[in-house]
């Protein structure tokens, strides 16, 4: 009885460690983008890839995935952040991690809503000027 309970507890701990809140350590193929740019991305079926944008939350950057891509072509895994320093004003890179699925094409758009706070759209003229999209035209090819 004790052995079965211990095994069940260990299994529960292992499953909990793999939940949605866990960090991804493998970014796969990293493709960098920026506001105002469209980048072509080619990956193989089953290949992990990340769309990377630089930001600085302390000055108001806030990148978001506009909408999920065609799930038959690419599936969203997670959003990860790697800082370039610990203090205020330090930049970082945000990675939107995906997995290539079936051959095809899809567009992935990321939006940096500069100094929007909790709002989904820029409220001031300065915020509208500093906000923008990075577009990734993704093609998944057979392995």
CATH number of the domain that residue 103 is part of? 2.60.40.2020
**Residue 59 within any structural domain of the chain:** yes
In this prediction, residue 10 carries a pLDDT of 34
pLDDT of residue 86: 58
In a domain, 4, yes or no: no
pLDDT at 61: 86
CB-based contact 100:44 (threshold 8 Å): yes
For residue 115, being part of any structural domain is answered with yes
Q: In this predicted structure, what is the pLDDT of residue 13?
A: 34
Does 66 map to a domain?
Answer: yes
Using only C-alpha atoms, the chain has a radius of gyration, in whole angstroms, of 18
Low-confidence ranges of the chain (pLDDT < 50): 1-22
């Amino acid at each position: 009885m004790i052995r079965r309970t211990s095994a069940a507890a260990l299994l529960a701990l292992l499953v909990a460690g793999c939940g949605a809140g866990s960090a991804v350590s493998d970014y796969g193929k990293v493709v960098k983008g920026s506001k105002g740019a469209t980048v072509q991305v080619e990956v193989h079926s089953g290949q992990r890839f990340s769309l990377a944008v630089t930001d600085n939350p302390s000055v108001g950057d806030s990148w978001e995935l506009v909408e999920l891509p065609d799930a038959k072509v690419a599936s969203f895994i997670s959003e990860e952040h790697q800082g370039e320093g610990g203090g205020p004003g330090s930049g970082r890179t945000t990675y939107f991690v995906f997995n290539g699925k079936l051959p095809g094409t899809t567009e992935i758009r990321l939006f940096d809503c500069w100094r929007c706070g909790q709002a989904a759209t820029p409220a001031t003229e300065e915020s509208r000027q500093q906000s923008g999209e990075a577009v990734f035209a993704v093609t998944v090819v057979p392995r």
